[in-house]
Structure 1
Amino acid sequence: MKWVVLLIFSSAYYNSVFSQYAFNIPAKESSRMYSYGEIWVEVSGKLALCSHSEKGSIILTVGGGKAPYTFKWNTNETTQNRSNLNAGTYTVWITDADGRVHQEKIIIQPPFPLLLNPVEKKDASCGSGMDGYAKISVKIGRNDYEKDSPPYKVTWSNGLKDVWEADNLAPGTYTVLVEDKYNCSVSVSFEIKSGSEGIAATETIEQPSCQSGSTGKISLNVSGGQPPFTYKWNTGATSKDLNGLVPGTYQVQIQDSKGCSLQKSFSISAPSSIEVGTQLLQPSCQGNSDGRIEIIPAGGKAPYSYLWNTGHTQSKLQNLTSGTYSVKITDATGCSVEKQVILQNQSALELKVVETRPASCAGGSDGGISLELKGAKGTYTVKWSDGNSTQLQRKDLKSGTYTIEVIDESGCKVSTTVQLQDATSLQARIETALDVDCASGKVTGKAWVSIQGGKEPYAISWNPGDKNAREINFDKSGILKVAVKDASGCTLETEARVEFPVVSNQGARLDFQYRKLSISNDPEVLIQEEVLFESEISPEFIAWEWEFGDGKKSVEKDPVHIFEKPGSYEVTLKGYDIFGCSSIERNTIQVSIPTELVVIPNAFTPNGDGLNDSFIPVLKGVSSFTLEVFNTWGEKIFITTSLESKGWDGTYRGQLSPPGNYLYRLTYITPDGTAQSKSGGITLIR
């Protein structure tokens, strides 16, 4: 058989310039790149076929020149990249935006056979032996015919790579994969047989217990080969099983009657002792439950189990107070160890009040507080609520409440609150009153000092005013001050603003009016009607009271009242000023029983003289009504339902109605709730 080797050529030209370049066949499909002056091309893709059923592909990476580029293939395709290609030569002309043309020839290699020679092999002597041998070789392949080709890649199923021969093979089936420079591959499988069935042995091992270090056991179960078997241990023993073993490595050679043998090694491990490490976080302060214990075991055999004296079964305990904690740790072999942990507070602060010294006088600053601190860790800081000291002893204090907080190095804190009292509190306040003669309007101001606490007798000094007087008079507005000194020398000053009126309310105006709240064409006040009393009261009056003459009263400024019976009532408004003086205003109101009255005129003269200028019925004791006016053709030309309406003025749609006769219809509700209706004629006279 004759094989043809194809070469790849590439050229580029611009107008009449032609260049030719030689290149080496790459080790991989996507590894060659060319530079052609101003336009360069990198060719990748699948440029060689492994079988006749495969298709190739060409991928072009273009640079240089001036984009965009156009492409023209010898197969009349105009795409940049090609796929689904058979073996052969493909030429592409690449033209940039300035008209430069680059020609590229790419060859898709045809399939090339990769054939292996028959496997040379030698079977293993025994089923348990590892003395088999195999050799692989290539009969014909692409790498042998193409210049500068890399070696074939060889991969064995047992893990060997890039070797053609393998020895020390155990019985079994093996596969070898051979690949050429284009990753085209062929594989071969073969079997290494054994001259006889191999020896197999499984073991059961019992490790020594934690109570005794010489109780290990190795028990063998042997199969395959040709019995009987002989055993040779590295300890010199020839029995199948071993007992009473101490920790160590034990090797045995098992041989059958045909001389085939198997070697195995076993390990007996001593149970390691359990070492217990701990990570502790001591509770910060006395009574706090922020301690933590974590057990960190080593040695033994995991997993471990835990049993605490608290009943918990995990390796870590949290939220612990101070105290003694014990735990039993047991490993997977049953070995156990106990551990005791003591937690102690980092600090146990105690702040005690040793002495309090109240101030000698109320408002004085000669009081004192002494404190004692115990159980602090390291240095500590003291904070007073007034922010004026960092010491445990204070003097020159005023009376009041003091909170002292102490924090030590561990962050624990303790606080206490001390109430520092005055020795005897001296209190004084100025009280005032005005004596008013309501008849004459004369006003006299009086002021006196009320004193509590301290020690009598008191020395009193007014400003302005007398000394050693409990009470003084004043006649103008201003500030009154008084100084009080008790028998102990404690002093107190207080002041008060007093207001002195210029005049009383003599001549102040007090008046009121009244009106009905319901809309009605009847001006009389009727029973069960709401009547609003509107007062006119001067600012001098600060309080007032109404008496309505029917036994009822009100303190509202503008009350609404309903009279339930007819009659004449005297309504009284009484006003009070800041001095307690009063003024009175009286008014009489007549309350009637509603009576029905309906009077309907038969003519009207809308001439603007103010007399009889509109048509409106006279209604009394009527709560609601509807008035309609019609012309002689029955057309409605006016309607009203308002008790305040002035009636029909003789117009219709803004135009004067002609004189003549018209019809009306009046519907109304009587005081007892009965609906009534009247109708008739009316004459319009102009």
Structure 2
Amino acid sequence: MILSLLWSVMISFTVSAQHAIERGVLNFDNNRIFATKGITVGVSGKLALCSHAEKGHIILDVQGGVAPYTYRWNTLQTTKDRTDLYSGTYTVVITDAVGTVHTERIVVQPPYPLILNPVEKADASCSSGNDGSAKISVKVGRGEPYRVTWSNGLTDTWEATNLEPGSYSVTVADKFNCDITTTFEIKAASEGMQVSEAIQDLGCSGLSNGSINLSVKGGQAPYTYQWSNGSTSKDLINITEGDYSVIIKDQTGCSFQASYAVKAATQMGLKETVQPESCAGAGNGSIQVSVQGGTAPYMYKWNNGQSTSKLGDVNAGDYSLIVTDAFGCTVEKKFTVGTDSALELEVLDQTKAACAGSSAGSIHLAIKGASGKYSTKWSDDPSAGLNRENLSAGTYHLSVSDESGCNVTKTFTIAEAQALQARIETVLDVDCAIGAITGVAWVSIKGGVQPYQISWSSGEEATREINFHSSGSLKVNVTDALGCTSQTEVRVDFPSQINKAGRLDFDYRKLEISSEPEVQVDEEIIFESVISDDFIGWEWSFGDGNASKEKDPIHIFQTSGMFEVTLTAYDIYGCSSIEKNIIQVNTPLEFIAIPNAFTPNGDGLNDTFIPKLRAVSTFSMDIFNTWGEKMYSVSGLESKGWDGVYQGQVSPPGNYLYQITYTSRDGQLFTRTGGVTLIR
């Protein structure tokens, strides 16, 4: 009975507790006790299929209730999680330890297409630009939310900007992690910049003479430059060693960036090999140098004037060298050339031959530092000693050897004095005004040694210039300070008199005979001279600004007036004679004479019809028959006139009409008409 009551109470409590649990609270003796919460389920896993080849899975996260739980799926499986699922609806009943039941309905979505619209893109303005853009959108899909991932790192944005030229991809995933990826390329709208450089490294150590010269092509000029050292110029000059970077932008904002290195110069140094001379004064010492560092080619400057890397054939002593490389950098060093032996040949005195052809040269020598006895050997006289006399001009070679074997050679040149040369020159000094003549002679001297002694055959002494007044021979003797002499002779001519006036005259006449005796404007006038044979030159002046050097010139006066014509003649001494005449030139009067008949029969007389004209500047003529038909027309002062032919046919004899128009020299226009008879 008690057991039955206890069971009844327990059942009653259990039911009451169950309701209390569902309400979330229990009361015992008025004390509030919190009950266990209801079952909650979190669902994850692959709940949508992206393709028919895929399988889904379900992962449950059960919370609340009283563990452990039991699971029963509508497909009769009893596991908590499910795998290898096709699309469809899956229901699971979850029961906890106290019998609480929770039912969860889960759908595995079937495959659904995710289709993107074509990428909307804008290319970059240039290959170095970053102003490209791309935009993506979903054409078919399950709906928001979508996740967007760009290959350049952008996420959750439908548009990517600031893109450089290149290949990109974008991936769009739906809320079930089904995704699709598309690729695209951002191109350059224009060619980018191409930059080439010419770098000049530092020329000399410690200097700041480096440079970077840029050559920019492509893009759109003008360009701007921003160097890492703050410069905004295209090129860098006078810069030091180091790295330099530059950003170049064109007009569109496209940029190019590069870095360049300017290297330091290698400091120059010299390494030498010195060869001492074998004997003092032998002159066979040498210094060979090699340059380390710097930039080839090198220039060498020795203090003795040599300009090669090897200083050769030098005596013992101190020498200095300056080496300059291609950039003008220099290094200087001093060297000492020693002597293996002290044998030395000293020149005490050397004189040249005093006069041309003489044998008065001499050589006086001394030997110093010889080891033991020495021997001498001259090329011209092996037995000669150190002192030579009476030497003619020439070259002499000497070799000296001592007992140590040291040998010294030297070459001597006995120069010949410049030959003393004298030459007599003459001129006649003429006074044309009084007819007086004076001969002048002087001596020109070359060579020898001043001062000179001068003696003339006419008796004058110590003077280079004399006068003479008759024809004959002149001699002069010149002696220089060394006693060398030169003598010369010349034949001189002295005239008895010079040209005098009275053998010069001229006349003039018209070149064409006319009825007018006076000289007219535009007439050819010939001037006929009478000039003595003593005159060798002449010149005419016509008084109108014109001149001539012809002997009998023809001249035309262009204007009227009185003109003084002058003839000047010159003799061999430069003296002149003058003859003048006054010529009256008149303006011709207008004249026209028109014949009344002509006979074109070929006998040379009156064969054409032409008027005689004078003092007219223009002329024209028309011939008509009695019916008014024009038979002939001509213009110009050189016309020969009408020969009675019309259109290649001989015109019949008879009367014809003429009209003549001419202009006088003063510009007046005249017209003459009349008749002429053609006679056959």
- Give your verdict on TM over 0.5: no
Structure of higher CA gyration radius: 2
TM-score normalised per structure 1 = 0.34
TM-score normalised per structure 2 = 0.34
